[in-house]
């Protein structure tokens, strides 16, 4: 085994199937002498780059970090052991009880330069095992497709391990960064990140780190171009309530709670359809429109067998997940909500369960410039080009990530997960990443980290950071 501190695969069946696959692949591609060794029964070594992800996303790392009860302690122990193997400095921070944040550090030769932060989150969303082809926390490597099936294989245990493997390669090649490089493995991203990246970004520890650029997660790309994100839509979690006098289930009258609510739902549906039509017609990308989705409806008078069927309820409510792009007019949208979606004239009210501002702490839209005005963008674009891959047009992320906490503080941040030719399966059943695409991503991050951590005297870091 490549590293004694890792015990790969606890299940004999999984271990056997993976080793048989790797043996077949090695024999097919091996020169005659290697083929002879395999035939003679000599052990075939797993690709070390693949090994780490299989452990991190599988049971050996005790890494079932699915919400609502993630095993953060086991994950932190695993990550610190990997830091020791790589010779990286490590510390565990805890901004909320029982939610450790693991911070790794690779000191640069010029510590006064703004540092590079590679962020990833340790938690994942729950999975329904019966709806998966393979157990979601087994990190199953399918021998026929070369896909790695695991919760977190796209979102985003893959990226965290690619960071580590890229650094392993760079250190083996004798590379020493000019900038200090930090790796943060944060908790709670899947439930909003308040106690993870949110607390971290506002801490004195983060201030001490002098971070110049943050890299965080992106999305898979079904095509050949790799996707990069310079901003994201802000979540407005909205609850609209309607009230009215209760009445007999057979009576027709105006102003009931359900009637008022349904009028609003229809108005909201038409708004949603108009926004979606812009995406379908190719006029705007998904991240550039306001998305609205109903997440629950609540009404009725409960009874022991269900609901009272001959009573019209006095209250009804709907929950909405609204996502607002940073180029939208938030004042106009909130006025629409107050006047059209939940007008007081129809005895309606609304409240936000979460409302993230589209502006940073300096009053500017929460985006990172993705053009030549930003030297960080220039360096990132060049590093990806040197990895011999195609980069797509910079996008607004359609959902939310931890990157927003750093952008809110005026820190440039890009979302980038190197997964091309891959269906978007985050939070889906049978989430997978092909092993070859994963290993290619390591090569890309090796180029990215080398490029961003090497000081370019023409970049004028301090001046550029002040402007941004």
Q: List the binding residues for Zn(2+).
A: 121, 155, 190, 217, 427
Surface-to-core class of residue 307, CB atoms within 10 Å of its CB (0-12 exposed, 13-18 middle, 19+ buried) = exposed
What is the dihedral sign for C-alpha 138, 448, 195, 93?
Answer: positive
The DSSP secondary-structure symbol of 359 reads B
Catalytic one among 64, 82, 165, 189? 189
Say what the alpha-carbon torsion angle 440, 446, 452, 453 is, to the nearest 10 degrees.
Answer: 170
Distance separating alpha carbons of residues 361 and 410, to the nearest angstrom: 7
Distance separating alpha carbons of residues 385 and 120, to the nearest angstrom: 23
Please say whether the beta carbons of 187 and 100 come within 8 A: yes
Distance separating alpha carbons of residues 205 and 188, to the nearest angstrom: 19
Token representation of residue 215: 């890299």
For the beta sheet containing 140-141, the strands, ordered from the edge strand earlier in sequence to the opposite edge, are 140-141, 147-149, 432-434
CA dist list (Å): 238 to 213, 404, 425: 32, 20, 26
* Residues placed in the known binding site: 121, 155, 190, 217, 427
CA dist list (Å): 171 to 164, 175, 312, 413, 454: 11, 5, 69, 25, 14
The vertex-466 CA angle with 465 and 468, nearest 5°, equals 65
Q: Please, what's the b/e burial string for 74-102 (b: 16 or more CB within 10 A of its CB; e: otherwise)?
A: ebbbbbbebbebbebebeebebeeebbbb
Distance separating alpha carbons of residues 121 and 151, to the nearest angstrom: 13
189 catalytic per annotation: yes
| E strand or H helix at 324 | strand 315-324
Token representation of residue 401: 């990530």
Catalytic one among 64, 123, 165, 216? 123
Please say whether the beta carbons of 87 and 80 come within 8 A: no
Strands (E), 58-204: 89-93, 101-106, 115-121, 140-141, 147-149, 181-186
Q: Which residues are catalytic?
A: 123, 189
């Amino acid at each position: 085994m490549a590293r004694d501190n890792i015990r790969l695969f606890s299940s004999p069946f999984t271990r056997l199937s993976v080793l048989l696959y790797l043996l077949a692949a090695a024999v097919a591609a091996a020169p005659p002498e290697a083929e002879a060794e395999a035939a003679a029964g000599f052990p075939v070594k797993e690709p070390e780059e693949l090994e780490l992800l299989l452990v991190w996303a599988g049971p050996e790392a005790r890494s079932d970090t699915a919400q609502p009860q993630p095993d953060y302690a086991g994950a932190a122990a695993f990550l610190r052991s990997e830091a020791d193997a790589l010779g990286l400095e490590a510390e565990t921070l805890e901004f909320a009880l029982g939610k450790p944040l693991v911070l790794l550090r690779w000191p640069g030769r010029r510590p006064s330069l703004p540092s590079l932060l590679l962020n990833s989150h340790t938690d994942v969303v729950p999975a329904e095992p019966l709806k998966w082809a393979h157990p979601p926390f087994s990190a199953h490597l399918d021998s026929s497709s070369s896909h790695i099936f695991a919760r977190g294989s796209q979102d985003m245990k893959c990226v965290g391990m690619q960071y580590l493997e890229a650094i392993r390669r760079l250190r083996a090649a004798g590379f020493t960064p000019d900038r200090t490089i930090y790796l943060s493995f944060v908790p709670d991203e899947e439930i909003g990140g308040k106690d993870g990246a949110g607390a971290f970004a506002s801490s004195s520890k983060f201030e001490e780190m002098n971070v110049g650029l943050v890299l965080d997660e992106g999305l898979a790309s079904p095509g050949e171009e790799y996707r990069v994100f310079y901003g994201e839509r802000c979540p407005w979690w909205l609850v609209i309530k309607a009230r009215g006098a209760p009445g007999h289930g057979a009576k027709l009258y105006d102003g009931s709670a359900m009637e008022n609510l349904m009028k609003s739902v229809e108005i909201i549906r038409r708004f949603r359809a108009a926004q979606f039509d812009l995406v379908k017609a190719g006029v705007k990308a998904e991240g550039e429109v306001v998305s609205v989705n109903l997440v629950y409806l609540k009404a009725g008078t409960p009874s022991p067998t269900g609901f009272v069927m001959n009573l019209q309820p006095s209250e009804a409510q709907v929950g909405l997940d609204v996502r607002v792009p940073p180029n939208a007019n938030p004042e106009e949208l909130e006025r629409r909500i107050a006047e059209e979606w939940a007008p007081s004239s129809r005895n309606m009210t609304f409240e936000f369960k979460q409302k993230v501002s589209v502006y940073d702490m300096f009053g500017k839209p929460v985006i990172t410039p993705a053009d030549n005005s930003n030297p960080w963008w220039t360096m990132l674009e060049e590093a990806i080009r040197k990895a011999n891959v195609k980069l797509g047009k910079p996008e607004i992320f359609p959902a939310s990530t931890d990157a927003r906490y750093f952008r809110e503080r005026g820190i440039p941040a890009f979302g980038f997960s190197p997964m091309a030719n891959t269906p978007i399966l985050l939070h889906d059943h049978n989430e997978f990443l092909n092993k070859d695409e994963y290993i290619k991503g390591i090569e890309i991050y090796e180029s990215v980290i080398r490029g961003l951590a090497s000081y370019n005297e023409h970049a004028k870091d301090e001046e550029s950071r002040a402007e941004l």
